[in-house]
Amino acid sequence: MSEVIELLRRSELFAGLPEEKIEQIISIGRVKRFNAGETIIAEGEPSDEMYIVEEGLVEVLVSEMALPDVAGPSELTPVVQLGRGQVFGEMALVDRGARSATVRCVEDGTTLFVIPREAFWRLCEADHHIGYVVMRNIARDLSFKLRVRNLPRATGA
């Protein structure tokens, strides 16, 4: 329990929340472990969970259809790896759309904390402070990812 609290405290998603509210979030989630090569989520599938990397490394891959400006054959293209403290699947929390990317495990024993969408929304409705802080932090995280994604193009790399 204390390890998960520490993980969530050190994840940007829950920055600014006191420990008792982090414990409320922990109560609706669970820990899952994956080995290298396992698919965690698949592009196009329905989405109902968000994930935080507690330990290990995952890789985000998109198809040509999802990322039309990437040249090459119509296959999954790795776009970034995510390590400790990083969040993925958060778009599903916001828009309830299908998965926008495939995420595969890179390192054996990768540990994720999984938060189900509907239970999380209920928690946010019951406690608007949690909802405000998490949505602000999701916006900040998505902004960070957009900036990172735009950097290589800006430098021509």
Partner 1 sequence: MIYKVSYVVVGSRHPGAIVNRDTPPVLGEIVELGGDRFEVVEVADLIPPQGDFAYLHVTLRPIARGRRRKG
- How is residue 47 written in tokens? 């989405």
Residue with Cβ nearer partner 1 (78 or 97)? 78
Task: Work out the widest C-alpha separation in the chain, in whole angstroms.
Answer: 49
Min dist CB 85 to partner 1, Å, is 3
* 142 near partner 1 (CB under 8 A): no
* 55 near partner 1 (CB under 8 A): no
Residue with Cβ nearer partner 1 (47 or 110)? 110
Nearest to 139 by CA among 105, 93, 82, 84: 93
Using CB under 8 A as the binding criterion, the count of chain residues that bind partner 1 stands at: 31
Q: Binding to partner 1 (CB under 8 A): which residues in 85-104?
A: 85-86
Q: Give start and end residues of each alpha helix (H) in the chain.
A: 2-9, 19-28, 90-95, 117-126, 128-155
* 106 near partner 1 (CB under 8 A): yes
Give the span between the Cα atoms of 88 and 30, in whole angstroms.
Answer: 15
Among residues 152, 153, 154, 156, the one that binds partner 1 under rule CB under 8 A = 152
Q: Give start and end residues of each alpha helix (H) in 2-116.
A: 2-9, 19-28, 90-95
Min dist CB 122 to partner 1, Å, is 27
Min dist CB 125 to partner 1, Å, is 25
Question: Beta-carbon neighbour count of residue 101 at 10 Å?
Answer: 23
Among residues 18, 78, 97, 109, the one that binds partner 1 under rule CB under 8 A = 78
Quote helix, strand, coil % in the chain, to nearest 5: 40, 25, 35
* 59 near partner 1 (CB under 8 A): yes
Binding residues for partner 1 (CB under 8 A):
10-12, 15-16, 35-37, 57, 59-60, 78-86, 106-108, 140, 144-145, 147-148, 151-152, 157
